[in-house]
């Protein structure tokens, strides 16, 4: 249930994100999207006064949201508050302030509760301001856009906190207003973002979670290939949603589509643009690592640990676990420096314990590699101790479990029997 709600909440969010100095529009991704898949541009009168399309506001917010994505929260929020002073009745500045709180939560794998109250307060205010706009004009698709976004983010965090009743109510509102916001699809790629994610994930759920197919009967039909094309289009052309689209595309290519080269390309773009974003940087380091680019992965991982040591915003135990494991592996297999490898593996274990992620692969494999190093150095007591831990924390059918069990069994046979008498 939680998995379904998390996925649904994630893909219905038309989240605001500014991408400063966007590359020239690339229409390649849209060549196979027919005009009937994009709404007709609304009449000019219906878009008058929309802050989402106000070029002066976009110009003013470029640096602000870039600062947010680069984890310079204080500077970004100061700029958001400047917009709020001039447009106190519009949902945009409140939503941006809420989004800033969200990106303080993201680097901790959504674990920290420190920013929850402020996040919910800003999203509630966004909903209040957008509802006032919607009540005044039900055809105001900008109001629907912000209602879908705020309800979606609210639902996502409630689901992470297992507040299922609140999450369910908020998610229904998000889906309803997402449909209403589609009226602006032909006006701006910002409005296409939510539909793109819905098109992709509704099919992905159908393919990967057969038991949930009856639930999907109540949802509109999706189109996974179209969703990816739409998302790529928004990534290339969106002003507010460009960065969010790249963020989702990066994760989809890496985790669902297994297009690792595409995922790496996007993660490199995001990391180069936002070098102090801990989430982007550790994702980049992991992709470099799994694709065998060890020299680059080592350099990025060292930078992550350096920023963590400086206590830079967003650089916490989760990033430390990634970086330490990568450096341990590189030292073990590339440099054959077992002392350094051992220390980095121990650091990875420490960071995993700090973030309460003892079931992570890096945590288990750190102990496994410590056992292998100890055995290689003929430190049998240490190897025995590490393998016993691996046996305890691994699933019984896993290769790690089998290796540990086999080693301990053979070690037991090697022990000399005590003489009687």
> What CA–CA distance (Å, rounded) separates 208 from 125?
36
Span of 72-81, 223-232, 273-282, 306-315 with lowest mean pLDDT:
223-232
The pair of three-digit structure tokens given for residue 356, joined into one six-digit string? 């309460």
How many residues make up the chain in this entry? 421
> What CA–CA distance (Å, rounded) separates 101 from 69?
11
Q: What secondary structure does DSSP assign to 254-293, as a single string?
A: IIIS--HHHHHHHHHHHHHHSTT-HHHHHHHHHHHHHTT-
* All structural domains of the chain: 2-274 (1.25.40.10), 280-412 (1.25.40.10)
Q: Which residues pair with 17 in a beta bridge?
A: 241
Which backbone phi and psi does 241 adopt, to 5 degrees?
-105, 5
* CA-based nearest residue to 277, from 259, 297, 300: 300
Q: What is the mean pLDDT of residues 51-58?
A: 90
Q: What is the percent of the chain where pLDDT is above 90?
A: 65
Q: What is the mean pLDDT of residues 84-90?
A: 96
pLDDT tens, residue by residue, 96-124: 999 999 999 999 999 999 999 999 999 99
Q: What is the mean pLDDT of residues 349-360?
A: 94
According to the model, what pLDDT value does residue 415 have? 61
Q: Which residues pair with 241 in a beta bridge?
A: 17
pLDDT tens, residue by residue, 182-196: 877 777 888 888 788
Span of 32-36, 297-301, 392-396 with lowest mean pLDDT:
32-36
* CA-based nearest residue to 96, from 69, 132, 131, 133: 69
Mean pLDDT, the chain, as a whole number? 85
> What CA–CA distance (Å, rounded) separates 158 from 155?
5
Dihedral through CA 155, CA 282, CA 244, CA 249, nearest 10?
A: -100
Does residue 322 register a pLDDT over 90? yes
**Residue 110, exposed/middle/buried by CB under 10 A (0-12, 13-18, 19+)?**
middle
Q: ∠151-44-130 over CA atoms, to 5°?
A: 20
pTM value is 0.85
The phi-psi region of residue 346 (left if phi > 0; otherwise alpha if psi is between -120 and 50; otherwise beta) is alpha
> What CA–CA distance (Å, rounded) separates 35 from 67?
36
Does residue 27 register a pLDDT over 50? no
Does residue 14 register a pLDDT over 80? no
Does residue 416 register a pLDDT over 60? no
**Residue 406, exposed/middle/buried by CB under 10 A (0-12, 13-18, 19+)?**
exposed
> What CA–CA distance (Å, rounded) separates 264 from 100?
25
């Amino acid at each position: 249930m939680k998995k379904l709600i998390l996925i649904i909440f994630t893909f219905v969010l038309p989240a605001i994100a500014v991408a400063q100095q966007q590359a020239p529009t690339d229409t390649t991704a849209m060549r196979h999207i027919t005009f009937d898949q994009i709404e007709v541009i609304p009449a000019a009168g219906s878009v008058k006064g929309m802050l989402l399309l106000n070029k002066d506001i976009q110009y003013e917010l470029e640096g602000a949201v870039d600062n947010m994505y680069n984890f310079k929260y204080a500077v970004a929020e100061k700029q958001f508050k400047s917009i709020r002073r001039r447009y106190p009745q519009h949902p945009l500045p409140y939503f941006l302030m809420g989004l800033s709180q969200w990106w303080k939560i993201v680097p901790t794998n959504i674990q920290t509760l420190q920013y929850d109250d402020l996040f919910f307060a800003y999203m509630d205010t966004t909903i209040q301001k957008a509802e006032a706009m919607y009540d005044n004009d039900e055809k105001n698709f900008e109001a629907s856009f912000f209602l879908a976004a705020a309800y979606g983010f609210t639902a996502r965090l409630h689901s992470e906190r297992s507040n299922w009743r609140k999450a369910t109510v908020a998610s229904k509102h998000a889906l309803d207003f997402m449909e209403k916001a589609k009226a602006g699809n032909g006006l701006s790629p910002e409005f296409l973002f939510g539909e793109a994610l819905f098109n992709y994930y509704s099919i992905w759920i159908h393919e990967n979670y057969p038991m949930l197919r009856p639930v999907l009967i109540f949802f509109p039909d999706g189109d996974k290939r179209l969703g990816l094309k739409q998302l790529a289009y928004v990534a290339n052309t969106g002003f507010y949603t460009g960065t969010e689209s790249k963020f989702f595309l990066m994760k989809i290519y890496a985790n669902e589509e297994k297009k690792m080269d595409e995922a790496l390309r996007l993660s490199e773009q995001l990391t180069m643009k936002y070098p102090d974003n801990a989430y982007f940087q550790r994702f980049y380091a992991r992709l470099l690592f799994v694709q065998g680019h060890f020299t680059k992965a080592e350099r990025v991982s060292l930078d992550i640990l350096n920023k963590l040591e400086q206590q830079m915003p967003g650089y916490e135990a989760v990033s430390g676990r990634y970086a330490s494991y990568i450096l341990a592996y590189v030292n073990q297999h590339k440099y054959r420096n077992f002392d350094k490898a051992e220390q980095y593996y121990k650091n990875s274990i420490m960071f995993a314990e700090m973030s309460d992620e003892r079931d992570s692969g890096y945590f288990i494999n750190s102990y496994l590699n410590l056992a292998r190093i100890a055995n290689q150095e003929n430190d049998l007591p240490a190897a025995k101790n590490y393998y016993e831990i691996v046996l305890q924390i691994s699933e019984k059918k896993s290769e790690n479990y089998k290796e540990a069990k086999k080693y301990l069994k053979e070690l037991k046979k090697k022990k000399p029997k005590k003489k009687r008498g």
